[in-house]
Amino acid sequence: MQAPPRSLRKGQISPNFWYLSIDHSYIQIYDGVVFVLSGFVNPERSTLRSQALDMGAEYRADWTLDCTLLVCAFVNTPKFRQVQADNGTIVSKDWIFESYKQKKLVDIEPFLMHAGKPWRKNKEPVETDQDEKETRKVHQKQVQWSRVKPSTSDATEAGNLESANKCFSPSKIKQWAVDDLAQTMSWLDSQEEKPEPSELKTIASEGVITCLQDAIESLEQGNDIKGVAEQWSFVPHVVNELLELDGGGKGAALPKEQLCQLAAKCKKIYQAEFARVVDIDGKNKDKHQNDSPVTEHRRKTKSEDDHYDSDETIEMTEEEIDFACRQLPGLCG
């Protein structure tokens, strides 16, 4: 699980940016890949991680028994030798970048740094572009099979899921996204060490998305969300809502798989809502930047007029007004 961004850690503000992934056109071409990153720093590390996750891979912070692939920046590093000794497959970053760029699974062989055990679960070590159609068929069958529910004592679970879906309606999630962004920005701004105003919205939105992603990864690994929440100084409302369904003692707990699907649904809506807000802000900023000097002067003048104090108005007699007009004929009709 990725550590929380330092922007929301206790007493720390991050100088880095996290990138929101809002392109959902990728099929799960990395389904079955469990990867680890080694030798990369932000923002490149964050980009690699986000792109691989978008393509269906699972992330691990360190090499474990269930890992299938190491994405490594350099050869002969301690991590490289560890995975090599474990006969794990090691690949360069360009394999991820190319697959993401082309929106398809490119041949892994040209990017291999060490060919070891299969680089994805239940698959051959190397799969080329020609196998992509077969991969899609297999994945579709897996998805269809996963949707088949046992017909025994799952009535309670079905009822809980229906209740959760009502609670987590798209309109409610959108409102939570707006509220979470505003509250996270307010929290960041209240810290002794705070981001620049121009970075506040970006850091806040990326922090919320990362917290949601950590919750998803925790559920995928069969762990509780509580452990994720304890790592964050400011926990978004949506994560607290999910926490209530994660064995919260109210009798409405959902299985990890269903809760994970619900969290993924929330993440997609949050990403879309944040992208919309950022897009509006960007357009407004560009609009103001394109204003002419006269328009900018009028805006400034209006702003100054809004704060004008009527108590400072000087009263003049008719004689004084006539005298002033004679002195400034160009301004009086």
Residues facing residue 59 across a β-bridge: 35
Question: The tokens 């490149």 sit on which residue?
Answer: 44
Residue 15, pLDDT score: 34
Tokens of 41: 């720093």
Phi–psi pair at 296, nearest 5 degrees: -65, -40
| CA–CA gap between residue 142 and residue 50 (Å, rounded) | 23
Residue-wise pLDDT tens digits, 9-45: 444 444 333 333 334 455 678 989 999 999 888 889 9
Residue 282, pLDDT score: 57
Q: Does this model's pTM top 0.85?
A: no
Which residues fall within 8 angstroms of residue 94, CB to CB, at 6 or more apart? 111
Segments of the chain with pLDDT less than 70: 1-27, 123-164, 247-252, 279-316, 321, 324-333
Q: Is 16 helix (H, G, I), strand (E, B) or coil?
A: coil
Residue-wise pLDDT tens digits, 110-119: 999 999 999 9
Tokens of 245: 């369904």
Residue 98 is which amino acid? E
| CA–CA gap between residue 226 and residue 246 (Å, rounded) | 8
| CA–CA gap between residue 266 and residue 40 (Å, rounded) | 29
CATH number at 31-126: 3.40.50.10190
Per-domain boundaries in the chain: 31-126, 156-286
Tokens of 232: 């964050």
Phi–psi pair at 126, nearest 5 degrees: -125, 130
Q: Is 24 helix (H, G, I), strand (E, B) or coil?
A: coil
Question: The tokens 């990728």 sit on which residue?
Answer: 26
